Chain A
Amino acid sequence: MIKVAQVSKSYQRKLVLDHVSLEVSKGQIFGLLGPNGAGKTTLIRILNQMASPDAGSVTFDGQLLGERHLPLIGYLPEERGLYKNMAVRAHLLFLAQLRGLSKTTAAQNVDHWLAHFDIQDWQNKRIATLSKGMAQKVQFIAALVHQPQLLILDEPLSGFDPLNVELIMNEIKALKTHGTTIILSTHNMKSVDEICDHAALLHQGQILAQDTVQHLRRTHAKGRVFVRFRGHMLAFANALWTDFTLLEQKETEPGLFDCVLQIRGERSVNDLMRSLQDQVTVEHIELLLPSMQEVFVDLINQKENQDV
């Protein structure tokens, strides 16, 4: 759906994006990750046509991205604001119409979303009287009130309490099931683990890695294995020999142990299972994948070590 090809952008001779290429497929939730100053906001502004690339191109459904695509894009910026003197409904109507909806359709959509979030009672309240969380819900609705095909969310969870984080996460998942493509820029790695299909890591204006979340986690797996077994701990430890290191152990009930092991050398999970076969009864065994947080830190460290 969105293809960014070799996009570069400089501000005052500082290269902010350096030949960035990425592709977001229809119906995907795409995590755009990176430390502060990596160039995420610049890339998002290019997608929203607030800035134009110095080099490279962006296409939307195969067409060069242009003003005609603006009504198809929804955007929730990280730094977000609303007109404090406007009433909630009037404000949403205004923004929906700016996105190209007719007054009637805008009114229908606004009413639908107010009802969906169960906040019809707020519709005549001035924005200034809303709490921060309430205002953020209104901003979230403003981003999707025109039913965009592509929704760009920049830190959508910041400022929400845990209950509302859950609500917004579920909403994002629901949008995906309805076919909306979502680009999610966030520092909340738990949400990336939970809802993103694909992710790209941007660092100092360059893409360090991009793939499916599962593949990124697998390729950065550290050979750690979780084992749950019944038997004696001594027998288990002896079976590990020098090929596996016991990192953690916990007896959850008499004779039942949860352990974390580190595979050493060229050994595999199959080797481990063979070693344990006659020593203990294995109830559960699983290769532990790193969280996206760990993948993120790993990739950044690798890059910085290369630079040094």
Chain B
Amino acid sequence: MSKFLLLTQREIQERLGQKGFWYMLVLGPVVVLLLLVALLKAADQGKQELSVLIADPGQIMDHRLMAQEEKHIQYYFLDDYLELNEFERAKAYQEFDVLVELNEKVLNNKKCFVFYRDQLGLDARIQLKFQVERRLEELIAAQHSNLSEQVFRQIKQGIIFDFRDLKDPKNEAKEANAWAGFILGGFILFFVGLYGMTIFRATVREKSNRIVEVLLASVRPQQLMLSKIVGIGLVALLQLFGWVLLLALGFVLLRETIFVNILDPSHWGQGGPERLNPLSTLVFEQLNLSFLLLHFVVFFAASFLFYGALFAVLGARSGADADGQQFLLPLIFLVSFGIFAGIYAIYFPNTTLTQIFAYLPFSAPVLALITLAKGVSLALYTKILLSLLVLVASALLLLKLAGRWYKHSILKF
């Protein structure tokens, strides 16, 4: 096995041998999923098993709801008005959790009051509204026209005003897509920053415990530096894919178990699935995921080499962790600059500055993924390849320079 592979293998084994890596691999997605569950549950707190009394003095609903009823909501009808005081206090109504008040003019004034004893969960609210509303829509359609309920819904649906740039009439540069690309690019910089710190610390540790003197009697400093960057980079990629995989699995599990109703667009009101679940539409229909992921990996690798060399040189120049912190700050600014350049590019996609940012190695990965996520023409794709070329060339040049700086610094104790 070549020395480079040996060193790289050692770096990988050291990281994979640490419990912290495996904890983070699992804990990262678990924390994200728990936060998601907590957020959704916070919105969904309240009573879920409901007994609903519909006060319908005009008998508009004719004691009927639409067929798709949920078992945990029981509906009862009262063909009369009911005073709130009475509903609240009378023994006969204590078994009901909710009072839906449908006055006789509900079909005209479109207003319906729902009184509850205890807070209702999000899921219960959605279902209650959905079922009562659909029955009322059916009645309105039957009462005022010969239209089918479906046609009625189509008419009822508001017109969407889609504002588009004259230069982009087909709306290829979709903003939501751009943000998706930005998130992917941000992920690159996040992991580069996170694992760049690992490169920095590992270099400082090798220098401070003097193992570097033993190693450099066998390998060239450039080999040592590059193996560290590549080894830690591969571990970063492994963790990233682990996170993606676990998060995807987690989302599927949540959808199939805890949030069956909330995440199901058919339980939502008007507008159809495209308006109800734009995230799933974006992810599964608008983005070319495999194309994006391929470029994600390529840009990740090039960015990691570029930034990794900088972190390694800083580590080699530092005597101890504490000394190095001051040098790290400018580097963190550079990583953050990529993020800000990405945000700028989303809001001002056609400015000269955005064109410049696209070729700067610090911001190129974010801008490239934003452009790729929006969808690219051949001309634009050529520009992206050019920016990748600039990034790779900068990374190689920096690795060469960093190798020299590393060599001169690593043995200065």
How far is A171 from B3 in the complex, measured between Cα atoms in Å? 29
Encoded as 1 (CB less than 8 Å from any B CB) or 0, chain A from 13 to 45 comes to 000000000000000000000000000000001
How far is A142 from B214 in the complex, measured between Cα atoms in Å? 9
How far is A98 from B212 in the complex, measured between Cα atoms in Å? 13
Q: Are B210 and A81 in contact (CB under 8 A)?
A: yes
Encoded as 1 (CB less than 8 Å from any B CB) or 0, chain A from 77 to 111 comes to 10111111110000000110111100100000000
Given A95-B218, A98-B218, verify A77-B210 contact (CB < 8 Å): yes
User: Is B211 in the interface zone, CB < 8 Å from A?
Assistant: yes
Given A81-B210, A84-B209, A98-B6, verify A45-B218 contact (CB < 8 Å): no
- Least CB distance from A53 to B in Å reads 15
Q: Are A99 and B218 in contact (CB under 8 A)?
A: yes
Within 8 A of A (CB), among B175-223: 206, 209-219
Residues of chain B contacted by A75 (CB below 8 angstroms) = 214, 217
- Least CB distance from B253 to A in Å reads 35
Residues of chain B contacted by A95 (CB below 8 angstroms) = 214, 218
Q: Are B17 and A73 in contact (CB under 8 A)?
A: no
User: Is B22 in the interface zone, CB < 8 Å from A?
Assistant: no
Q: Are A73 and B217 in contact (CB under 8 A)?
A: yes
User: Is A6 in the interface zone, CB < 8 Å from B?
Assistant: no
How far is A73 from B214 in the complex, measured between Cα atoms in Å? 12
- Least CB distance from B173 to A in Å reads 49
Query: B210 contacts which of A51, A80, A103 (Cβ < 8 Å)?
Result: A80
- Least CB distance from B264 to A in Å reads 49
Residues of chain B contacted by A73 (CB below 8 angstroms) = 217
The residue on B at minimum CB distance from A77 is B213
Residues of chain A contacted by B348 (CB below 8 angstroms) = none
User: Is B411 in the interface zone, CB < 8 Å from A?
Assistant: yes
Q: Are B217 and A82 in contact (CB under 8 A)?
A: no
- Least CB distance from B303 to A in Å reads 28
How far is A86 from B205 in the complex, measured between Cα atoms in Å? 14
Q: Are A94 and B6 in contact (CB under 8 A)?
A: yes
- Least CB distance from A85 to B in Å reads 6
Residues of chain B contacted by A94 (CB below 8 angstroms) = 6, 10
A-B pairs with beta carbons under 8 A, tally: 60
How far is A84 from B206 in the complex, measured between Cα atoms in Å? 10
- Most chain B CB within 10 A, of A80, A103, A139, is at A80
How far is A75 from B218 in the complex, measured between Cα atoms in Å? 9
Band of interface residues on A: 20 to 34
The residue on B at minimum CB distance from A146 is B218
Residues of chain B contacted by A120 (CB below 8 angstroms) = none
User: Is B160 in the interface zone, CB < 8 Å from A?
Assistant: no
User: Is B241 in the interface zone, CB < 8 Å from A?
Assistant: no
Residues of chain B contacted by A97 (CB below 8 angstroms) = 1, 6
Given A94-B10, A97-B1, A98-B219, verify A50-B411 contact (CB < 8 Å): yes
How far is A85 from B216 in the complex, measured between Cα atoms in Å? 20
Q: Are A81 and B214 in contact (CB under 8 A)?
A: yes
User: Is A48 in the interface zone, CB < 8 Å from B?
Assistant: yes
Q: Are B411 and A45 in contact (CB under 8 A)?
A: yes
User: Is A70 in the interface zone, CB < 8 Å from B?
Assistant: yes
Residues of chain B contacted by A100 (CB below 8 angstroms) = 218
- Most chain B CB within 10 A, of A75, A84, A98, is at A98
Residues of chain A contacted by B206 (CB below 8 angstroms) = 81
How far is A277 from B17 in the complex, measured between Cα atoms in Å? 79
- Most chain A CB within 10 A, of B10, B14, B413, is at B10
How far is A73 from B218 in the complex, measured between Cα atoms in Å? 9
How far is A80 from B210 in the complex, measured between Cα atoms in Å? 5
How far is A99 from B206 in the complex, measured between Cα atoms in Å? 18
Given A50-B217, A94-B10, verify A85-B210 contact (CB < 8 Å): no
How far is A193 from B6 in the complex, measured between Cα atoms in Å? 41
The residue on A at minimum CB distance from B215 is A98
How far is A284 from B17 in the complex, measured between Cα atoms in Å? 67
The residue on A at minimum CB distance from B209 is A81
Q: Are A82 and B211 in contact (CB under 8 A)?
A: yes
- Least CB distance from A159 to B in Å reads 13
Residues of chain B contacted by A50 (CB below 8 angstroms) = 213, 216-217, 411
The residue on A at minimum CB distance from B410 is A50
Q: Are A70 and B218 in contact (CB under 8 A)?
A: yes
The residue on A at minimum CB distance from B10 is A94
Query: A81 contacts which of B3, B6, B18, B211 (Cβ < 8 Å)?
Result: B211
The residue on B at minimum CB distance from A139 is B214
- Least CB distance from B9 to A in Å reads 9
Residues of chain A contacted by B411 (CB below 8 angstroms) = 45, 50-51
- Most chain A CB within 10 A, of B10, B18, B206, B217, is at B217
B interface list, Cβ under 8 A from A = 1, 3, 6-7, 10, 14, 17-18, 206, 209-219, 411, 413
Q: Which 8 A-B pairs have the closest CB atoms?
A: A81-B209, A81-B210, A81-B211, A79-B210, A98-B218, A77-B213, A75-B217, A48-B217
Can you add 11 more A-B contacts, CB < 8 Å, to A50-B217, A79-B413, A84-B209?
A: A70-B218, A73-B217, A75-B217, A77-B214, A81-B213, A85-B18, A94-B10, A97-B1, A97-B6, A98-B3, A103-B1
